[in-house]
Structures are given as structure tokens and as C-alpha cells.
Amino acid sequence: MTRVQHHEAHAASAFYQSGFAEAALFTADAVGEWTTTSYGRGHAEGVSLFEEVDFPHSLGILYSVVTSYLGFAVNSDEYKVMGLAPYGTAR
């Protein structure tokens, strides 16, 4: 049984649904198995992650702070904040 790392799963789920034959990959969240951000490439042979940023350096934690500031629950409601994006108005 092959074990897939947290950020590898995020990257693969985005890449394989994208329809692109090749793509740059970037994932960011608060923390997943100590990795907070990863960079890589999706290609015909699969997904290759070649750089990681580890906890405590995290854009995702900053996102959690914004989530809290907006009145939502941290580590629970971040998806709601993401879901607000399509309701915005471009300026």
C-alpha cells in the first residue's frame, strides 16, 4: 500500500481535475504532517513535489487569523470564507 502525503493529495486532486497535461502546483494550508506549503509540478508521469515549507511558517495560519477576524471558527470554518469569494465584486 502506497502512502500519499497530505499536500501531495491536495496537489493531485487539483491537477488531475484541471484538464491540463502539465502544470505548476502550489498548495498551502495551516499544517498537514508539518508541511504548510508545497511547490511542485503535475505532468504525464504524475505529481512531483520538490519544495516544502514547514510549520510554524504558514500562510494557512495567517488565513485562519483572517477567518477568526471575520467572525468564523478557526480550524472549522475556513471553507466558508473560501466560499465567499464568488460573491465578491471586482474593483
In order along its 91 residues, the chain shows pLDDT tens digits of 778 888 999 999 999 999 999 999 999 887 778 899 999 999 999 999 999 999 888 888 888 899 999 999 998 898 898 888 788 888 8
Question: How many domains is the chain built from?
Answer: 2
pLDDT value, residue 49: 94
Q: Is 71 found in the same domain as 89?
A: yes
Do 51 and 24 reside in the same domain of the chain? yes
Cβ neighbours of residue 91 closer than 8 Å, sequence gap 6 or more: none
Distance, CA of 58 to CA of 79 (rounded, Å): 17
To the question of pTM greater than 0.85 for the whole model, the response is no
pLDDT of residue 26: 95
Which domain covers residue 5, as residue numbers? Answer: 1-57
